[in-house]
Amino acid sequence: MTSSSQRRAIKTYRSRLSERGIARFEVLGLDKDRDLIRSLARRLAEGGPEASRLRATVAENLGGTPKTGGILAALRRSPLVGADLDLERSREDGRAVDL
* 11: containing domain: 4-63
pLDDT of residue 5: 93
pLDDT of residue 64: 62
Q: What is the count of structural domains for the chain?
A: 1
pLDDT of residue 96: 86
Residue 76 within a domain: no
Tally of CB atoms within 10 A around 57 = 10
Q: Which residue has the higher pLDDT, 9 or 94?
A: 9
- How sure is the predictor about 36, in pLDDT bands with cuts at 50, 70 and 90? very high
How many angstroms separate the Cα of 56 from the Cα of each of 15, 41, 50, 51, 60?
28, 14, 10, 9, 6
Residue 58 within a domain: yes
For residues 43 and 50, the answer to whether their CB atoms sit within 8 Å is yes
Handedness of CA 39, 41, 43, 49 (dihedral sign): positive
In angstroms, rounded to a whole number, what is the distance separating the alpha carbons of residues 61 and 42?
19
- How sure is the predictor about 66, in pLDDT bands with cuts at 50, 70 and 90? low
Residue 56 within a domain: yes
pLDDT of residue 33: 94
Predicted structure pTM score: 0.51
